[in-house]
Amino acid sequence: MVNRVLKYGLVAVVCALPALLEPTPAKAISWGEKGSNGKVCRVLLGTHNHHGRGHGASKSAAKAAAVKRWSGFTVWEYGKAWGHYSLAQGKSVSCNKARRGGWRCKVTAQPCKN
């Protein structure tokens, strides 16, 4: 009886563990005032940039993949309101031809929200 309780109790703990360890978006704190454009940008001791890398058959496809990764990580970390690349400030894009064909791009930008 005791072995059965221990066995099933352990199974329950192992099954519940992934739900307990699942990451939740961090609460973003806006530092500073709203800009004249209505945006509030994420700042931590200066500019807080996020990066995204992407690969694609064309330069535009690689840039789109990089933007998607930038957005996905930003949404995961701060929430949906922060994940719009179109609102980000200080954007930079660098792209290079990949050694095995296609393109690789990296985007960098400071997350902002309206």
Going residue by residue through the chain (114 aa), what tens digit of pLDDT does each one get?
555 544 555 444 444 444 444 444 444 444 545 666 777 776 655 567 899 999 999 999 999 999 999 999 999 988 898 899 998 888 999 999 998 899 999 999 988 888
pLDDT at position 110 is 87
| C-beta separation of 64 from 106 below 8 A | no
Phi, psi of 107 (to 5 degrees): -110, 145
pTM over 0.75: no
Amino acid at 78: Y
| C-beta separation of 42 from 82 below 8 A | yes
In CATH terms, 25-113 corresponds, of 3.90.930, 3.40.1350, 3.30.390, 3.10.28, to 3.10.28
Q: Could you tell me the two tokens for 88?
A: 């980000």
Q: Could you tell me the two tokens for 69?
A: 């990764």
